[in-house]
Structure 1
């Protein structure tokens, strides 16, 4: 399995966890006992720690990445379905994120909740425990907000610097 250290931080995988040989873990990723990370999943912890708690699973092709929060967490026994994007958020214990769903920065998915396949959970939205949410959220809202305009202006430079950081400092982990 490709494990890469970055900025002196190396992924840790419990001996009782399964990480598929084509999954990629970068930086401060922590996979606990009984958890699984499946084929072609990418967990990139260059902006904060990623926790995959005991018994949780991250299925094929999903991408987990940090955000504004200090960590991204997949709770104990939670499921991240195939081809999901989980970005800078917290998924509660036993929650299910259906195939192709996107969970944005600062969102909190409660214990035992289900985000249906293909759904989008917007930034900072909180879903209570044991609730079902579904559907797309994208609608035109008018001109860019100040925050959105900042991202449009600054994201290219941010990723150029991040790429330099990776090019200079990512190394295969033992």
Structure 2
């Protein structure tokens, strides 16, 4: 992976974490046990410290950065969706930030809360635990159901497994020129995780969400 020291400060990556070779780590970055860092993620610890606690994941093209003197933290089992931006904020234990969402300086996302895709959490905004925040600027829509929190935890478990799978088997190769007729499909060893809307449809009489 591209990994850079600055001012004598070097990133730290736990041996049980997986960081994709295209992700970039600079300076004061600490990646804890069992974390997953996806392709093209950028973690710039050149102003403030960036911390991913145990079991957190930071997916493809995410950005973490902060102002001088600040820590940007993703708590235990925090789940950061594709393309999200975290700047000088704190993401609580088992919380989720959806795809292409932005969380700004001094904001705090409470434990087991979910920030919806494309949401904008403004500076110093507090999102309470176990709540759903949506929109731009973000507003708290409602309290999450037990089903939604369980769905989030199941999704995060797939990234715990992906870190293990990636450490064991991911390697750079040349592509094949055509697909074999007996080509095996990609599967997850921890079971299939349904999109949330499908779970809600299945739980609602008549199949409506």
TM range (shorter): 0.7 to 0.9
TM-score (norm 2): 0.65
Q: How far does residue 97 in structure 1 lie from its aligned partner after superposition? A: 0.2
In 1, Cα distance between the equivalents of 2:69 and 2:120? 19
Show the 5 A alignment for 1:9-158.
Answer: 9-67=9-67, 70-137=70-137
Distance 1:57 1:74, change over 3 A: same
Structure 1 segments (4+ residues) deviating >4 Å: none
In 1, Cα distance between the equivalents of 2:85 and 2:91? 12
In 1, Cα distance between the equivalents of 2:26 and 2:102? 20
Q: Deviations over 1:90-109 (max 9, x none)?
A: 00011000000000000000
SS of equivalent residue, structure 2 residue 118: coil
Q: How far does residue 68 in structure 1 lie from its aligned partner after superposition? A: 5.5
Answer 1 or 2: higher relative contact order, Cα 8 Å, separation at least 6: 1
In 1, Cα distance between the equivalents of 2:24 and 2:44? 8
Q: How far does residue 69 in structure 1 lie from its aligned partner after superposition? A: 5.2
Tell me, which stretches of 5 or more residues in structure 2 are unaligned?
139-209
Q: How far does residue 66 in structure 1 lie from its aligned partner after superposition? A: 1.3
Tell me how large the CA RMSD over aligned residues is: 1.1
Q: How many residues are matched?
A: 138
In 1, Cα distance between the equivalents of 2:54 and 2:66? 19
Report the structure number with the largest CA radius of gyration.
2
TM-score (norm 1): 0.77
